Structure 1
Amino acid sequence: MANLLRLGVNVDHVATLRNARGSAYPDPLRAAILAQQAGADGITAHLREDRRHIVDADIDTLIAGLTCPLNFEMAATSEMQAIALRHKPHAVCLVPEKRAERTTEGGLDVAGDEDRLAAYIAPLREAGCRVSMFIGHDAEQIRASARIGAAVVELHTGHYCDLHADGHLAERDAELALLVAGAKLAKSLGLEVHAGHGLTFDTVKPIAAIPEIQELNIGHFLICEAVFMGLGPAIAQMRHLMEQARAGA
């Protein structure tokens, strides 16, 4: 169906809870399987260089235990490239990474590192991974992503969500317009368009309504809501809102 919008569920913060106590639970694979059963189209996991949440063993178990696609988020380092080439996940999403940040603060600077990134993703593409660039809506970053041979761009929605939360509604609407324009440009260049970061029940519908976007990746909010309503119901509610947006409701 041309208007289908997929939902990828990020299980990083299940691992955050586990690591807070140094225990064996909660298990990210168990959460991923529950997410599959609740209707997730894929699972996202970010193996950070500092292993602050997901660790190497989690990637091993997710690869072995999932029947839906794994979107492996990672920094563009030689260590992460070797891990991705060993596992050959369905998708690899390159993200910027800083040790001091609480979460990913912005998009990757593809335009400023074009030659290196083109060479970096070549073996990943040859291994059969769909390579995605996690970027802002800037037109030059989108064009650079197309030039280096990425299959996908994932547009960073964090600023839009922050503006909504802070009540800056005019600025929020301006940011949404830039995301709409970025999605249109990316699709015109032959890129598949995804979006994610910071999306909640309150912010997802305007993003889900952008027709060029084919996938949303949502994690932290769903894991937080699972504390109150359960993971399955949280995912079901998110899917309901996404479907409403696509139907124009």
Structure 2
Amino acid sequence: MTKLSVNINKVATLRNSRGGNIPDVVQVAIDCQLFGADGITVHPRPDERHIRYADVIDLQPRINTEFNIEGNPSPEFISLIKRIRPTQVTLVPDAHDVLTSDTGWDTVEHKDFLTDVVNEFQSMGVRTSIFVDTNLEMIKMASKIGADRIELFTGPYAMEYKSNREKAIAPYIEAATMAKKLGLGVNAGHDLNLENLNYLYVNIPWLKEVSIGHSLISDALYMGLEKTIKAYKNCLNRPLDSPKP
């Protein structure tokens, strides 16, 4: 079964735009789990423009599913992980001023650095995933580094899905197949939505987890959070092109 981890960064973005504590990101995380989410994802950035480091600390005791913390492993980020010890850390090569994650790691160039970080997190009992593109050499190196999983950056898949979904999915099937043979768990995330998620799942049924934030929170504005989470979960347990909820 592919797990759905809900990224609540956008909830924090809305809160921060006004100040105060509305909406309450901790309560939203509690509700997401109540409504069927298999995990909660956050991605604190240095400028704290959405999720703040303090939020991560507040969330930790309220997560009873899986807690996935994404980020570039700066000294501050590593200190946060040491304190929180989440279920999973997803290493993302974000520049400090990037708008959103838009590329995977060059695991060849950063092999030594990533090896040290992965070893440190795993020594704490934290499952470690490396955010990568579908480049097979980068996936092979992620395996050599010793990562538990990779997270496939699905931005290009989502962009090409409408025009040619067979072409869009092909490199992801190849990448996920190689990762599976290497013993790596496979996660996926970025721009996944109710239109393209089921096709990804059907073609890569061994996906461990998808992390979805922007589209899911946007859909919740129209559908409500509970119904939206159920709709996304339905994409992960129904045959291709079967009726949507």
Q: Give the TM-score of the pair, scaled to structure 1.
A: 0.93
* 3-state DSSP of counterpart to 1:243: coil
2:79 corresponds to 1:82:
yes
Cα drift, residue 205 of structure 1:
1.0
2:184 corresponds to 1:184:
no
Aligned-pair RMSD on alpha carbons?
1.4
Aligned partner of 2:67 in structure 1 is 70
- Unpaired runs of 5+ residues, structure 1, are none
Question: CA–CA distance in 2 between the matches of 1:81 and 1:121?
Answer: 11
Q: Does structure 2 retain, via aligned residues, the 8 Å contact 1:184–1:212?
A: no
Aligned match of 1:18 in 15, 33, 36? 15
Aligned partner of 2:136 in structure 1 is 139
Correspondences of 1:1-40 after superposition (within 5 Å): 4-40=1-37
2:119 corresponds to 1:122:
yes
1:223 alignment partner AA: I
Deviations 1:41-91 (A, max 9, x none): 111000112211000111011101111110011102121111101111111
Cα drift, residue 242 of structure 1:
1.7
Query: How many aligned residue pairs are there?
Result: 241
Aligned partner of 1:232 in structure 2 is 226
Q: Give the TM-score of the pair, scaled to structure 2.
A: 0.94
Aligned match of 1:206 in 199, 208, 221? 199
Question: CA–CA distance in 1 between the matches of 2:118 and 2:160?
Answer: 33
Aligned partner of 1:223 in structure 2 is 217
Cα drift, residue 116 of structure 1:
1.1
Question: CA–CA distance in 2 between the matches of 1:57 and 1:79?
Answer: 12
* 3-state DSSP of counterpart to 1:150: coil
Aligned partner of 2:41 in structure 1 is 44
Aligned partner of 2:154 in structure 1 is 157
2:112 alignment partner AA: D
Moved beyond 3 Å, runs of 4+: none
Question: CA–CA distance in 2 between the matches of 1:126 and 1:100?
Answer: 30
Q: Does structure 2 retain, via aligned residues, the 8 Å contact 1:152–1:192?
A: yes
Cα drift, residue 98 of structure 1:
2.1
- Unpaired runs of 5+ residues, structure 2, are none
Q: Does structure 2 retain, via aligned residues, the 8 Å contact 1:106–1:136?
A: yes
Identity over aligned pairs, percent: 35
* 3-state DSSP of counterpart to 1:111: coil
